[in-house]
Amino acid sequence: MNIHEYQAKELFEKFGVATPKGKVAETLGEAATAASELGSEIVVKAQVHAGGRGKGTFKNGFQGGVHLVKTAEEAGEIAGKMIGETLVTHQTGEEGKLVSKVMVADAVDIEKEYYLAILMDRESRSPVIVASTEGGVNIEEVAEQTPEKIFREVIHPLLGLQPYEIRNLAAGLGLSGDVAKQFGKLLKGLYSLFISCDCSMVEVNPLVTTPDGQVLALDAKFDFDDNALYRHPDIEALHDPTEEDPREVEAAKYDLNYIGLDGNIACLVNGAGLAMATMDIIKQSGGEPANFLDVGGGATQEQVRNAFKIILSDPNVKGILVNIFGGIMDCDVIAKGIVAACGEVDLNIPLVVRLEGNNVVAGKETLANSDVDLIPADTLADAAKKAVAAISA
């Protein structure tokens, strides 16, 4: 789950992570009022979950989702050109993203930019802090080209962040005196936020120092552990469904694991590994998968029906491949679910079904005796070939 920049700022303030003064605004008036409480250099930023905002273009022709202004009037004027408009950046795709809020904040005089992140590292099974003297740039490139500019501390899962680890990082970044102290305070707050909110990643890029000796988190990216959201209703409330694929939002309502892709062969599979493998084999057979969809180990007829509806709501879909390995699940129950679903939705594209496993003979009979027009397949390889052939016909 991602959150907006203004929400990240609010979390930073709650955990004592120093960040420039600012506020979120939903109207031109709110933006002007917020700006009037700030200094003489103000930045207005469109709030969407996408990078490249500064270089983006609004569909109304207005250039740039990040602007520097001097007065409250100007801030209001710029906000008026952003709110309610659609911003296209290199990460949003052509359709762009609707901007419903802007953030108005003090523009910071930057002395130097750094990189600071905390992530859950699977190899060491621990939180790892990564810091670099190269801020505001792509950290993966820094790690590849100049690994000596990256500093890492692996934090003990039970002990937590220790003072010497902070000192190591400050020394690596070349910070000393009061600036090092401020960095330590910021990092402690950031670590506490990371742990308290069950983050899988918090990335501050850039972290900056200012000529007057402040250390500030200027921009942040968060990733939360979805498995832990049940104990963080306040964080779950930050979720903005308008930022997501509507098919994925719909699928989540029925506990279906769905991820939309660009292809034209939809798939419905039980099990995440098998669902990935089904996408792979569609591609291998010369087709393009339209989605990832895992209906889970105990799918009900209701779930199968809703899965079909979501798949068919994608106008790109030209064919469907159902791949079920009934382990404990009864293939006949799945077969009945497919027949019921096809009875309710107006199916007018090819449907290839591969069933294997528990009670498969009865399942295949149910499908054969129904009036659903489908193409049966024996193995997954056979199913993928048939699906690709059916949409090419």
Partner 1 sequence: MAILVDENTKILIQGITGSFGGRHAQLSLDYGTKLVAGVTPGKGGQTFSDTVPIFDTVKQAVAETGATVSTIFVPPPFAGDAILEAVDAGVDLVVAITEGIPVMDMMKVRAAMKDSGTRLIGPNCPGVVTPGTGENSHGGCRIGIAPGYIHKRGKVGVVSRSGTLTYEAVYQLTSLGLGQSTCVGIGGDPINGTSHLDILKMFNEDPETEAIIMIGEIGGTAEEEAAAWANENCDKPIAGFIAGATAPPGRRMGHAGAIVSGGKGTAEAKITAMREAGIEVADNPSDMGEALVRAMG
**Which residues belong to the active site?**
115, 203
Residue ranges of E strands in 279-330: 291-294, 319-326
Q: What whole-number distance in Å separates Cα of residue 383 and Cα of residue 185?
A: 58
55/156 with CB nearer partner 1: 156
Helical spans, DSSP H, in 83-176: 139-145, 163-173
CB atoms within 10 A of CB 213: 11
Write down the least CB distance from residue 356 to partner 1, Å.
7
Q: What whole-number distance in Å separates Cα of residue 120 and Cα of residue 30?
A: 38
Write down the least CB distance from residue 74 to partner 1, Å.
36
Under 8 Å between Cβ of 314 and 260: yes
Q: What whole-number distance in Å separates Cα of residue 236 and Cα of residue 333?
A: 35
Write down the least CB distance from residue 207 to partner 1, Å.
19
Residue (of 212, 209, 203, 220) closest to 180 by Cα position: 209
Give bridge partners of residue 321 from the DSSP assignment: 267, 352
108/384 with CB nearer partner 1: 384
Residue (of 81, 34, 41) closest to 62 by Cα position: 81
Token pair belonging to 159? 């002990």
Binding site for partner 1 (CB under 8 A): 120, 122-123, 125-127, 140, 156-158, 195, 198, 200, 225-228, 230-231, 257, 259, 261, 269-277, 279-284, 289, 292, 294, 297-298, 325, 327-328, 356-358, 379-382, 384
Residue (of 162, 31, 39) closest to 101 by Cα position: 31
Per-position b or e across 314-341, b if 16+ CB within 10 A of its CB: beebbbbbbbbbbeebebbbbbbbbbbb
105/268 with CB nearer partner 1: 268
Q: Express the helix, strand and coil content of the chain in percent, nearest 5 each.
A: 40, 25, 35
232/309 with CB nearer partner 1: 232
CB atoms within 10 A of CB 152: 15
Under 8 Å between Cβ of 252 and 54: no
Q: What whole-number distance in Å separates Cα of residue 221 and Cα of residue 203?
A: 5
Write down the least CB distance from residue 303 to partner 1, Å.
14
78/142 with CB nearer partner 1: 142
Write down the least CB distance from residue 353 to partner 1, Å.
15
* Strand, helix or coil for residue 156: coil
328/393 with CB nearer partner 1: 328
19/200 with CB nearer partner 1: 200
Write down the least CB distance from residue 325 to partner 1, Å.
5
Write down the least CB distance from residue 175 to partner 1, Å.
26
